[in-house]
Amino acid sequence: MAVRNLLVSEHNSVAERMRRRRWKLVLSHVPDLAQLRVIDLGGTALWWSRAPVRPRHVTVVNLHEAGESTNGVTAIEGDALTADELLRGEDFDLVFSNSLIEHLGGHGPRSRLAEVVVSLAPSYVVQTPYRYFPVEPHWMFPGFQFLPVSVRSYLAPRWPLGHTYGWDAETSEGEVLSTELLSAVEMRRYFPDAEIVWERVAGVPKSMTAIRARG
């Protein structure tokens, strides 16, 4: 797994360098992040503990692994698609969601997430990998997203660079079926009032972030 560590796990891995670039992008659009109350849909308390900038307060909603609440971070185990009901009456300045929308499984849940995002705060930052980047980021396999489901399901527990390596067949197939990368057309459909900001590798679009920043 040394190769995967170099790509996604090590401190100076490709993924970690991309995350640092993404933070610069976010802060260029939301420079006052440290003063804001943030709701993170799909994130974890641990992720924010490692963030280079800590907002005034963060509420994390995650279905399975929100983590432990700490000073400045409230972790809630819950469904991001019902966060507007779960947190009714709460006030937030910014909704943050990183690599969640592609895991919801279809147009209906993605539309629902978009409704929740725009209802919770005047500003939002929603990031997702780009469907047409040559290498699928979850499995680190070229063109994986374009293969038939049967082929992806076969490869998922066997491909050593993928996060499902070693999983049982049923669980890894479920992960394949629930992971759908988005196109720019879809992202604009869900967030029509946002600016779509691109991250690129060697000039090739790798991921996109829908940003609506309002004072």
Q: What average pLDDT score do residues 165-174 get? A: 97
Q: Identity (one letter) of the amino acid at 25?
A: L
Q: What average pLDDT score do residues 85-100 get? A: 95
pLDDT band at 4 (very low <50, low <70, confident <90, very high): low
Residue 1: what pLDDT? 53
Q: Is 10 left (phi over 0), alpha (psi -120 to 50) or beta?
A: beta
Residues 86 and 153 in one domain: no
Torsion angle in degrees (nearest 10) through CA of 204, 209, 212, 215? -90
Residues 83 and 154 in one domain: no
Compute the mean pLDDT over every residue in the chain, rounded to the nearest whole number: 91
pLDDT band at 94 (very low <50, low <70, confident <90, very high): very high
Residues 166 and 203 in one domain: no
C-alpha 57/C-alpha 72 separation (Å) is 5
Closest CA to 165 of 135, 133, 138, 143: 138
pLDDT band at 66 (very low <50, low <70, confident <90, very high): confident
Residues 149 and 44 in one domain: no
Residue 64: what pLDDT? 87
Residues 86 and 148 in one domain: no
Q: What average pLDDT score do residues 122-129 get? A: 97
Q: Got the DSSP string for 68-122?
A: --BTTEEEEES-GGGHHHHTTT---SEEEEES-GGGS-SHHHHHHHHHHHHHH-S
Residues 205 and 156 in one domain: no
Q: What average pLDDT score do residues 167-175 get? A: 97
Q: What average pLDDT score do residues 159-182 get? A: 96
Residue 43: what pLDDT? 93
Residues 155 and 101 in one domain: no
Count of structural domains, the chain:
2
Pairing of strands 141-142, 94-98: unpaired
Residues 56 and 145 in one domain: no
| pLDDT > 90? residue 215 | no
Residues 157 and 100 in one domain: no
Residues 45 and 144 in one domain: no
Closest CA to 191 of 124, 129, 130: 124
Q: Where is average pLDDT lowest: 47-56, 154-163, 186-195?
A: 47-56
| pLDDT > 70? residue 178 | yes
**What predicted TM-score, i.e. pTM, was given to this entire model?**
0.89
pLDDT band at 173 (very low <50, low <70, confident <90, very high): very high
Instruction: For residue 51, give the CATH number of its domain.
Output: 3.40.50.150
Q: What average pLDDT score do residues 8-12 get? A: 53
pLDDT band at 129 (very low <50, low <70, confident <90, very high): very high
C-alpha 81/C-alpha 41 separation (Å) is 9
Residues 163 and 83 in one domain: no
Expressed as residue numbers, the domain containing 152 is 139-178
Residues 94 and 149 in one domain: no
